[in-house]
């Protein structure tokens, strides 16, 4: 039986772009998401369902040989804060079950299942850190961050157990900063103001920002995000107990972003209506990330300054 790749949350931005990337390599893929989608490709089997459906998840592993898992299904930060019980069910409990299924599958079939988990800078807190490393103070204040950290730790634990058995799971994770896309406008995340602001400027719309102009957070483009995931997963072996890596392309304040956008769109205006819930979260997340471990362990590279980073995104949006 040929091995297959499992992608959860294939309709989300990261899930859909990863699905497209792997499909171009003629990989055999199974996707699961709450929403329907039809793809006429014999190598791709898309299933409508929830990752919290344990029987469905188990059946996928029982009826296929799964060599890799890309686990994107999740509730975003602000959505999670509005429904913490559901967030824990989806973001943590279902994720742990998926890890368990992947590990048992690996042991049963004498292989190590590569498992990618997208973590977040939400795991940091309770105070803002500059140049945060993977082992800096990590005491998340949000349910989203708490869930992400729990899965990071659980996946790392199961990875170490698998190393002892030589079969099971090969857990790999990236702590993502804010992700900016030139294709879509996200909602439900604390860092969504950056792509929202850029899209508003391109579409000649005024923007109302929920965070203060001094707020500084790190970001990465969607293209670099997808390429980094695939770069990390293409490495045969990562000889390190560290399984979670920080990456970013640029870090800047909201005012820095506004000034640069206005230099290109002179009519663009912004208003501030500070939302304490959003601001209190942003104030606990790092202003920038230390990427040395990613550079050393899997050759992550990024040398762009703020202006170059934003200009590339603007140009791609305007070329659509």
Residue 225: pLDDT band (50, 70, 90) is very high
Residue 319: per-residue pLDDT: 75
Q: What CA dihedral angle connects 216, 218, 223 and 226, to 10 degrees?
A: -140
Closest C-alpha among 305, 293, 281, 215 to residue 247: 293
Same fold, 3-177+222-246 and 179-220+249-288+298-318: no
Instruction: Report phi then psi at 112, rounded to 5.
Output: -105, 115
Break the chain into its structural domains and give their ranges.
Answer: 3-177+222-246, 179-220+249-288+298-318
Instruction: State the SS3 of 41-92.
Output: CCCEEEEECCCCCHHHHHHHHHCCEEEEEEECCCCCHHHHHHCHHHHHHHHH
Pick the CATH number of 179-220+249-288+298-318 from 3.60.15.10, 1.25.40.10, 3.90.25.10, 3.40.50.2300: 3.90.25.10
Instruction: State the SS3 of 83-112.
Output: CHHHHHHHHHHHHHHHHHHHHHHHHHCCCE
Q: Homologous superfamily of 3-177+222-246 in CATH? A: NAD(P)-binding Rossmann-like Domain (3.40.50.720)
What's the CA gap between 47 and 271, in Å, rounded? Answer: 43
Q: Which residues pair with 30 in a beta bridge?
A: 6, 45
Residue 320: pLDDT band (50, 70, 90) is low
What's the CA gap between 301 and 320, in Å, rounded? Answer: 27
What's the CA gap between 206 and 21, in Å, rounded? Answer: 34
Asked whether the predicted pLDDT for residue 94 surpasses 90, the reply is: yes
Q: What is the pLDDT of residues 102-154, one digit of tens each?
A: 999 999 999 999 999 999 999 999 999 999 999 999 999 999 999 999 999 99
- With beta carbons less than 8 A apart as the criterion, state whether 215 and 143 touch: no
Closest C-alpha among 112, 90, 93, 116 to residue 103: 112
Asked whether the predicted pLDDT for residue 264 surpasses 70, the reply is: yes
Q: What is the pLDDT of residues 267-317, one digit of tens each?
A: 999 999 999 988 999 999 999 999 999 999 988 987 668 899 999 888 888
Instruction: Report phi then psi at 54, rounded to 5.
Output: -65, -35
Q: What is the pLDDT of residues 160-208, one digit of tens each?
A: 999 999 999 999 999 999 999 888 887 778 899 999 999 999 999 999 9
What number is the average pLDDT over the span 253-267?
A: 95
CB 316: neighbour CB atoms within 10 A?
A: 15
CB 193: neighbour CB atoms within 10 A?
A: 24
Residue 181: per-residue pLDDT: 87
Q: Buried b / exposed e across 131-158, counting CB within 10 Å, b at 16+?
A: ebebeeebebbbbbbbbbbbbbebbbeb
């Amino acid at each position: 039986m040929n091995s297959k790749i499992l992608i959860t949350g294939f309709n989300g931005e990261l899930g859909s772009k990863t699905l497209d990337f792997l499909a171009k390599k003629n990989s055999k893929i199974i996707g699961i998401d709450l929403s329907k989608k039809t793809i006429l490709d014999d190598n791709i089997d898309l299933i409508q369902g929830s990752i919290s459906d344990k029987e469905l998840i188990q059946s996928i592993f029982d009826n296929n040989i799964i060599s890799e898992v890309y686990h994107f299904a999740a509730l975003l930060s602000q959505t999670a804060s509005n429904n913490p019980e559901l967030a824990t069910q989806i973001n943590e409990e279902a994720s742990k079950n998926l890890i368990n299924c992947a590990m048992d599958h690996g042991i049963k079939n004498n292989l190590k299942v590569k498992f990618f988990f997208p973590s977040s800078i939400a795991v940091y807190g309770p105070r803002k850190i500059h140049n945060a490393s993977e082992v800096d103070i990590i005491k998340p204040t949000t349910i989203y961050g708490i869930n992400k950290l729990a899965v990071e730790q659980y996946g790392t634990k199961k990875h170490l157990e698998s190393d002892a058995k030589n079969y099971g799971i090969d857990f790999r994770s990236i702590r993502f900063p804010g992700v900016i896309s030139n294709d879509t406008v996200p909602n439900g995340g604390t860092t969504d103001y950056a792509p929202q602001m850029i899209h508003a400027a391109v579409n000649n719309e005024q923007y109302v920002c929920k965070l203060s102009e001094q707020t500084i957070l790190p970001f990465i483009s969607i293209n670099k995000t997808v390429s980094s995931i695939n770069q990390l997963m293409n490495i045969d072996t990562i000889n390190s107990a560290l399984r979670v890596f920080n990456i970013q392309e640029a870090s800047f304040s909201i005012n820095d972003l506004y000034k640069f956008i206005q230099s290109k769109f002179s009519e663009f205006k912004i208003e501030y209506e500070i939302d304490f819930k959003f601001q209190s979260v942003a104030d606990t997340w790092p202003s920038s990330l230390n990427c040395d471990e990613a550079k050393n362990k899997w050759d992550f590279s990024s040398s762009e300054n703020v202006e170059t980073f934003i200009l590339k995104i603007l140009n791609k949006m305007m070329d659509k």
